[in-house]
Structure 1
Amino acid sequence: MPPDEARLASAVMQPHVLAGRPPPLPHRRRPIPLAVRATLWRTRFAVAAVFLGIAAACTVQALRPADPPTTPVVVASRPLAAGTPLTSTDVRLARFPVGVVPDDAPTDLDAVLDAATAVPLTAGTPVLPGLLADDDVRGPPGTVVATVRFADPAVAGLLSPGMRVDVLAATAEGGPGGVVATRALVLPVAQRTASAQSPLGLGGSGDDSVPVLLAVSPDEAPALAGAAASALLSAVVVP
């Protein structure tokens, strides 16, 4: 190819030659450190927010007060009805802050096994001694236990431990009855022989020797004892 034609072909392939401009510089990749710095600069606000969040979380963790000391306490592992003999499946250990645990709260499961509940317990309730009826048959704190025989022997079998009853006393002549105990708590009876049970389980059909144990206030106990000797007693279940 003649020299003139070669130069013309080169000019067509390279437009910058026809335009009188210098040839473009060859493309070179940006160095990695420079690219990293550019990326960090563009995202500087997001990076600063992340570091501020980490610093705040560390500060809160450092300033949080230490957890208070705890101690194990025996609690009911499921809802328990009054009069339930406690077994290992009925109770468990739960940790409570030391400052809120009563001094007489049991911390060992063996301390409450084989005892019976005097009142219904919900799951998670601490099993305190005042909520149990042991062999000595005790009521809640501030009460005394009275033995009552109602005029209708079947009442002994119809009342369940944990019920609250008002005790009414009426004269044998049919006079109006008076209230001798209010909201008395029915306690579980430690032993009730088969002879005291009627075929239908109504607790003493024809046998008025089956007693009902009631937890009453000390002021009500004398009136209840006097009425038992001279009046006919009946029970009214109350909330």
Structure 2
Amino acid sequence: MRARAARLRRPLAALSAAAAAGLALTALRPGPAPSVRVLAAARDLPAGATLGGSDLRALDLPPPAVPAGAMRSGAAGRVLAGPVRRGEPITDARLVGAGLLRGYGPGTVAAPVRVADAGTVRLLRSGDRVDVLAGPPSDGADDGPGKAGQWGGDARVVVSGVRVVTVPRPRDDGGQQGALVVLATDRVQAQALAGAGTALSITITGT
């Protein structure tokens, strides 16, 4: 019995040493790297898109790689200010709202304006400077088919030299005419635009 125990002692000691080494390695092994879960685009999305659940996916990023203003929740139902690529993290600056106005200075608001000439709006890009003019539309009685709503009378300048923030993608607006553009204005200018009526035109003045 003693001889047999002596023969087994060495293998058992080796097994014990191996087990101890394994436990030590497990204890020393670093845990999973820290990460932050943010929302990213599930596919390429155009400017003006209203985000739905299928447009977003979770993305785990190491903390140093998380962009400022990254959205962790609350992006569904928001409107994109510019196009995003598949896999790109969604940030507040990509959404129509306060984050979109970063860099415009204090007191700036985003004023959506419906312009009568949708063709002119298609020429606009973010950062363009524009004048917004208002004037009474003609009654269209003598304008012929498709001419109702053309300009009549003298136009007046409502705001001048304001920046284009974004041009939302055209959508089904329930039959409304023209096209939307979002402008960076102060509150006084925004109130003037809100009270200027629906016959609005835009003149591009530069960048």
TM-score (norm 1): 0.45
Evaluate the alpha carbon distance shift between residue 112 and residue 67 of structure 1 in structure 2; reply closer, same or farther with a 3 A threshold. same
Change in Cα spacing, 1:89 to 1:226, as seen in structure 2 (3 Å) is closer
**CA RMSD for the aligned pairs?**
4.5
Higher relative contact order (CA 8 A, sep 6+): 2
CA distance in 2, matches of 1:193, 1:138: 27
Structure 2 vs 1, CA of residues 77 and 212 (structure 1 numbering), >3 Å: closer, same or farther?
Answer: same
Q: Read off the aligned partner of 1:159 and give its amino acid letter.
A: V
Q: Which has the larger Rg?
A: 1
Shift of 1:98: 1.4
Deviations 1:41-92, CA, capped at 9 Å, x for gaps: xxxxxxxxxxxxxxxxxxxxxxxx9985222221113221112122344222
Q: Aligned residue for 1:140?
A: 100
Instruction: Choose which of 82, 103, 116 in structure 2 pairs with 1:119.
Output: 82
Verify: 1:99 aligned to 2:80, yes or no.
no
Q: What fraction of aligned residue pairs are identical, expressed as a percent?
A: 22
Relative to 1, partners in 2 of residues 1:217 and 1:97: Cα closer, same or farther, differing over 3 Å?
A: farther
The aligned runs of 1:41-80 (5 Å cut-off) are: 68-80=33-45
Match in the other structure for 2:5:
none
The partner residue of 1:216 within 161, 184, 188 is: 184
CA separation of 1:187 and 1:89: change in aligned 2, threshold 3 A = same
Counterpart code for 2:101: P
Specify every segment of 5 or more residues in structure 2 that has no aligned partner in the other structure, as ranges.
Answer: 1-29, 103-107, 135-152
**Residues 148/139 of structure 1: CA separation in 2 closer, same or farther (3 Å cut):** farther
Q: Which residue of 2 aligns with 1:15?
A: none
- For these two proteins, the number of residue pairs brought into alignment is 151
Larger relative helix fraction: 1
